[in-house]
């Protein structure tokens, strides 16, 4: 609800206030790549990626986040550190791209079984889906979550770190939220995966939900935060 009110306030501001939604990410379709699969760089301890996090609603930089592989056995763990000093939870994979813990949303989620960040064999037309339960940090209640991930096609993307040929992956997340006033939480996640980088060079996350009213569902949907993450450096 907070994000939706902020958006409505921004739209009501007079012209010239310098607040404008982020423009769509420039991409170029690469049909010649066909159905070739992405052979992603395997994760290794010490690999890192630095992203600028930008608010889609007003084009402002929110933070700069460095993500570093700190272990690969028995699971792949990615340490996330924000330049602002904000505390960020680690990301964890059972296998690269199969999430056991995800931390880019409003609160970290630890899953009872892996959920796909991208299809196990990422190639145009590949897909994967799974349903499980998750817990929030410090909580004992189990919430259900359903995730589907589908690779759509090859696109060339330019970000601060360079120009990359990427596979665009779309994720759809339906989940039970810890906020009992919410219902029908739906999230959308787009990743542009680069084989050489071994991870997304750009990513967009957004979501919407309905608010439970006094014995009824309010008709208007509320918006979650909408961010773009753009790669600035990697090693």
Dig out the tokens for 180 from the structure.
């009992």
What pLDDT does residue 127 have? 97
Please name every residue paired with 80 in a beta bridge, in sequence order, or none if there are none.
67
> Residues 118-128: pLDDT tens digits?
999 999 999 99
Q: What are φ and ψ of residue 15, in 5° steps?
A: -60, 150
With 80 as the cut, is the pLDDT of residue 34 above it?
Answer: no
CA distance 231 to 11: 29
The DSSP bridge pattern shows strands 27-29 and 48-55 to be unpaired
What pLDDT does residue 5 have? 40
> Residues 122-175: pLDDT tens digits?
999 999 999 999 999 999 999 999 999 999 999 999 999 999 999 999 999 999
| CATH label, 2-30+45-234, candidates 2.40.360, 1.10.3470, 2.60.40, 1.20.120 | 2.40.360
CA angle 131, 136, 130 (to 5 degrees): 10
Q: Which residues contact 127 (CB under 8 A, 6 or more apart)?
A: 119, 148, 149, 150, 151
CA distance 191 to 119: 12
Distances (CA, A) of 57 to 1, 10, 100, 107, 130: 14, 8, 30, 20, 30
Cut 0.85: pTM above it: yes
What pLDDT does residue 221 have? 76
> Residues 49-99: pLDDT tens digits?
999 999 999 999 999 999 999 999 999 999 999 999 999 999 999 999 999
CA distance 126 to 150: 6
Among the listed residues 231, 170, 172, 173, the one whose alpha carbon sits nearest the alpha carbon of residue 198: 231
């Amino acid at each position: 609800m907070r994000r939706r009110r902020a958006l409505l306030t921004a739209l009501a501001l007079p012209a010239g206030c310098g607040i404008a939604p982020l423009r769509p990410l420039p991409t170029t379709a690469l049909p010649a790549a066909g159905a070739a699969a992405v052979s992603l760089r395997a994760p290794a301890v010490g690999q890192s990626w630095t992203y600028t996090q930008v608010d889609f609603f007003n084009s402002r930089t929110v933070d700069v986040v460095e993500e570093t592989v700190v272990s690969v056995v028995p699971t792949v763990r990615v340490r996330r550190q924000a330049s602002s000093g904000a505390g960020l939870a680690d990301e964890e994979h059972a296998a690269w791209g199969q999430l056991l813990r995800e931390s880019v949303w409003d609160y970290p989620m630890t899953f009872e079984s892996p959920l796909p960040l991208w299809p196990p064999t990422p190639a145009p037309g590949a897909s994967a889906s799974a349903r499980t339960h998750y817990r929030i940090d410090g909580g004992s209640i189990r919430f259900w979550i359903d995730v589907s991930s589908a690779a759509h096609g090859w696109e060339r993307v330019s970000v601060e770190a360079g120009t990359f040929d990427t596979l665009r992956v779309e994720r759809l997340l339906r989940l039970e939220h810890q906020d009992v006033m919410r219902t029908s939480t739906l999230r959308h996640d787009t990743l542009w995966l680069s084989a050489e980088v071994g991870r997304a060079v750009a990513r967009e996350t957004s979501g919407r939900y309905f608010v439970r009213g006094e014995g009824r569902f309010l008709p208007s949907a509320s918006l979650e935060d909408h961010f773009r993450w753009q790669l600035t450096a990697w090693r």
